[in-house]
Structure 1
Amino acid sequence: VKPITDPDLVKLWNATVTEWTSGQLDLPGEGIPYSDAKQLVVAADRLKSLTRQNGANDPFSLLHEYIGQILTTNDSRDEHCIQAAVLVDPLVIYEDSSVAIDVYIENLRDSTLTNIDLTIEFERNDMFAPRIEFAVGPSWSAGINSMNGYGVLAPKSSFEVHWTRKVVTENRLTATAFYQAIILLGFHKDGVPSKQRLKSPLLEIRPRRSVRVSSLSYYFPVLELPSKLNPVKTHVAYSTYSVVQKDWC
């Protein structure tokens, strides 16, 4: 086979790009409609969200874990070893605002839980909702030495974690977006790893409210107005993508 030289490779690349962008490429099949491709993307996004919510790296790892639980000979699924509570405040915020997430975890067992790992991330409730970043704010914890996979929780003890996240958007929101905090707790019980998702409420993020008021006063010294008052023009601009409510005033 004759090797392709650099000039030949460039010509081949240009010819390929021209053929693909001409719209006259003779494909072996008709392909799939746009609606089917859209549904495929939606299904893939939901599968990715489900995988992350259950603490797995990919769908195959999640399936392998569930099969392992089904085939296990030691049935300890009904054993309660941890009690947790999640508080999110406030539940309704506006863009550029901050939200506080408080987590309280208690070990109900008479034995030590090891390899404590606690993580948080936010997932949008609808894949068509605008993407929002949550910047890290002041955070602190008490009652545990580490939450990066090396933490140890003594019997009948507890710890708490307090996070602060600030809503950061690339563009102004034009509609309300719903996000949920995905809080995953990992630990080892009697040497067996376990991963649990802590239940958290839905967070509603609304477009920022803003009103701009400008007032212009006109002075005409050549005019003699009976009232001795100069005309004033006031302009009010409501630059928000939401309906004005009476309780805002």
Structure 2
Amino acid sequence: MAVAWVQERALLLILSVLSVLLVTLYTSASVTWLQKDVHFIAARAPPFALSSHWTTARQLGVGNVTSVRWDLSLWDYCLTTHVGANATSVCSMWKEACREADLQHSTVCGAMGSLQTLAFLSLSLSIIGLYIGYRSVTSEKPLVLPLLCLAIRAVQVGLEAGALLEVTSLVPPSALFPYGLDLDKGPFYCFANVCCSAAVFASALFVFLRTSGPHRHEYILFNTVEEIEN
């Protein structure tokens, strides 16, 4: 029984640390959530459609482009073009790109803004959940703390499920991305953290059941000499 209790507390703490690492990973600017690499004949003009309104696209000069790559992270929008063996890449922050192109109310800009908000909330909940998980492990009677950990992880799973639904809505072809987009590493890290948060939820539930169980009666079989004299 004691070994299982130690294992459950250790598992709760390890999974809480792993959750913080996963959220930090997929919220970083170096991890792309969506990407698309399109190759076409050099003599054919690339079908940028409405993306020609974007400042980043206008800066590249798309006359004889042989391939185009879009990379979308939570913070940056990057467009890379290849003209023969030469490659040119331009990146800009989402807020700047949407403001300069007057696309604040577009579907893409709205979705990326929602993803940024959900990612920030998820990161905050992971850090708070790690602290509460640590207190649940170190406290002798953590009756309320495991319940708080359960609530935090339930909310976090809901937030990240919403983020996954939001990012999948950008995959089909649209006016800005006529070829559609492909999921990259970010959504998979996010899904991994959903599984991790669910595991933390289960661990916190076991910890709560252990701490809220019936108190074990203790019996004194022998008294010491000092206790008898007192």
TM-score, scaled to structure 2: 0.23
Q: Which of the two has greater strand per residue?
A: 1
Q: Which of the two has greater helix per residue?
A: 2
Higher relative contact order (CA 8 A, sep 6+): 2
